[in-house]
């Protein structure tokens, strides 16, 4: 089946189809870039949320020095797509992955996180053997209880090892406060963020105080950018979800304490088709858990007042159309004669954008209801 040409109406697309509204995307990117203009910290967007070099290039054009990635495979997709500065905000362990890391370092500025002396030694050996240079951040656990060293003394010892290692460039410390993102109360979320930033910046001061220069302290994310992004001593924020935005983060309220609507809107949606109207008050569309995720709650029906998503199966979503004018009427002949009919197109807004993107090979970049471009999601499935 041929790809739709530029200018094709969204309604003519086969479904399920992942859509990205270019105007909303650019607005989200511009707003975040404007926030950091003139600040001590800069923005290094995380691409794990969108996995698209096209979006990464827009973020760099808006002022970012480079991007973050979660895995070597994502970094490879970004470098292949023209991005020349990538921080893999993760540990890279194992001979095969480290060799790929060195390959990347010969093509772009590449940095990684570490929390283990043996890993530092392995990175150094591989970089030295190829006369390459890898930038390194020592990760501090600031409350995630995931990766990272626990205390400033261990951070100092590892920082000294990196600074003395051939083939490695010690850049600073990293502390990601992802554990705060689902704290619904804005004041509590802000306090938890400040506590996390206090730990990593205190560790940075301790390392500096013992003679090891710390150039950057990197961390933060979309749900805390306005807190971590102005915290004294933090120099880089790794926000990612803001570009496409999803229902979960949108509903949490950004920035913290903002009384009017969030400046970030959902740029991504999933186009679906009504495939059945089996009974009064029910319509079924052709998208389920294999095309949209729900670990942060069910997706939201876009621009259809009175219609809600009631359940996801693997390949189906059941809509509750019983709300007022949205009711789909079922007739004896098996046809719908109400607001929803067989073949109607419905857009769903993902509750979690990062994992939804990872289910799709391509995204349709749209403007004013028409396809403007088709983007291959080249970092999709790059979990190695």
Has residue 344 got a pLDDT over 50? yes
Has residue 329 got a pLDDT over 60? no
pLDDT in tens, 169-202: 999 999 999 899 888 888 899 999 999 999 999 9
Strand order in the sheet with 85-88: 42-43, 236-237, 216-219, 168-175, 134-139, 109-114, 85-88, 67-69
Which pLDDT does position 255 carry in this prediction?
Answer: 66
Rounded average pLDDT over 299-316: 95
Structural domains in the chain, sorted by start: 22-244 (3.20.20.10)
Q: Identify any residues that bridge with 316 across adjacent strands, giving them in sequence order.
A: none
Has residue 166 got a pLDDT over 80? yes
pLDDT in tens, 70-101: 999 999 999 999 999 999 999 999 999 999 99
Q: Is the dihedral of CA 181, 185, 190, 195 positive or negative?
A: negative
Query: Using an 8 Å Cβ cutoff, are 281 and 264 in contact?
Result: no
Percent of the chain exceeding pLDDT 90 equals 86
Nearest Cα to Cα of residue 158 among 124, 127, 120, 128: 120
Which pLDDT does position 338 carry in this prediction?
Answer: 45
Which pLDDT does position 5 carry in this prediction?
Answer: 87
Q: Using alpha carbons only, what angle is made at residue 226 by residues 221 and 230, rounded to the nearest 5 degrees?
A: 105
Has residue 268 got a pLDDT over 90? yes
DSSP sequence for 266-332? --EEEEEEEEEEEETTEEEES--TTTS--TTS--EE-S-TT-EEEEE-SS-EEEE--SGGGPPPB-T
Has residue 333 got a pLDDT over 80? no
Rounded average pLDDT over 104-123: 98
In this structure, of 90-104, 124-138, 177-191, 286-300, the range with the lowest mean pLDDT score is: 177-191
Confidence band of 3 (pLDDT split at 50, 70, 90): confident
Has residue 222 got a pLDDT over 70? yes
Nearest Cα to Cα of residue 92 among 80, 74, 66: 74
Which pLDDT does position 326 carry in this prediction?
Answer: 43
Distances, alpha carbon 144 to alpha carbons 114, 140, 193, 257, in Å: 15, 10, 11, 24
Rounded average pLDDT over 246-258: 77
Confidence band of 51 (pLDDT split at 50, 70, 90): very high
Rounded average pLDDT over 278-285: 93
Rounded average pLDDT over 132-159: 97
Which pLDDT does position 261 carry in this prediction?
Answer: 64
Query: Using an 8 Å Cβ cutoff, are 92 and 72 in contact?
Result: yes
Percent of the chain exceeding pLDDT 70 equals 94
Has residue 328 got a pLDDT over 80? no
Confidence band of 1 (pLDDT split at 50, 70, 90): low
Query: Using an 8 Å Cβ cutoff, are 64 and 45 in contact?
Result: yes
Q: Using alpha carbons only, what angle is made at residue 11 by residues 302 and 356, rounded to the nearest 5 degrees?
A: 50
Has residue 330 got a pLDDT over 60? no
CA separation for the pair 376, 48 (Å, rounded): 15
Confidence band of 283 (pLDDT split at 50, 70, 90): very high
Average pLDDT, the chain: 93
Q: Is the dihedral of CA 131, 132, 135, 139 positive or negative?
A: negative
Has residue 21 got a pLDDT over 70? yes
Q: Is the peptide bond before 255 cis (omega within 30 degrees of 0)?
A: yes
């Amino acid at each position: 089946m041929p790809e739709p040409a530029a200018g094709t109406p969204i309604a003519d697309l086969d479904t399920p189809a992942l859509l990205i509204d270019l105007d909303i995307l650019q607005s989200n990117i511009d707003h975040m870039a404007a926030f950091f203009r003139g600040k001590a910290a800069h923005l290094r967007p995380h691409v794990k949320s969108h996995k698209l070099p096209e979006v990464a290039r827009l973020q760099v054009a808006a002022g970012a020095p480079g991007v973050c990635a979660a895995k070597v495979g994502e970094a490879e997709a970004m470098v292949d797509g023209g991005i020349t500065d990538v921080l893999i905000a993760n540990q890279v362990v194992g001979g095969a992955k480290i060799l790929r890391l060195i390959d990347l370092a010969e093509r772009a500025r590449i940095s990684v996180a570490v929390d283990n002396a043996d890993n530092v030694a392995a990175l150094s050996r591989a970089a030295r053997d190829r006369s390459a240079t890898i930038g390194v951040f020592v990760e501090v656990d600031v409350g995630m209880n995931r990766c990272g060293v626990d205390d400033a003394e261990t951070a100092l010892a590892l920082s000294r090892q990196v600074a003395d290692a051939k083939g490695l460039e010690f850049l600073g410390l990293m502390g990601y406060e992802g554990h705060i993102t689902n704290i619904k109360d804005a004041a509590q979320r802000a306090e938890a963020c400040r506590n996390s930033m206090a730990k990593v910046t205190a560790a940075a001061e301790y390392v500096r105080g013992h003679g090891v220069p710390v150039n950057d302290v990197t961390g933060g994310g979309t749900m805390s950018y306005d807190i971590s992004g102005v915290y004294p001593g933090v120099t880089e924020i790794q926000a990612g979800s803001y570009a496409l935005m999803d229902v979960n983060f949108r509903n949490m309220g950004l920035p913290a304490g903002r009384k009017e609507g969030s400046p970030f809107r959902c740029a991504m949606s999933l186009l679906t088709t009504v495939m059945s109207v089996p009974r009064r008050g029910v319509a079924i569309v052709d998208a389920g858990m294999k095309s949209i995720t729900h670990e942060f709650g069910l997706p939201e029906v876009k621009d259809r007042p009175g219609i809600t998503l009631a359940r996801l199966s693997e390949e189906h979503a059941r809509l509750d159309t019983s709300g007022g004018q949205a009711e789909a009427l079922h007739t004896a002949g098996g046809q719908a004669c109400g607001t929803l009919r067989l073949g109607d197109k419905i857009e769903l807004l993902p509750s979690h954008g990062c994992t939804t993107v990872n289910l799709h090979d391509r995204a349709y970049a749209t403007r004013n209801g028409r396809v403007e471009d088709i983007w291959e999601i080249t970092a999709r499935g790059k979990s190695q």
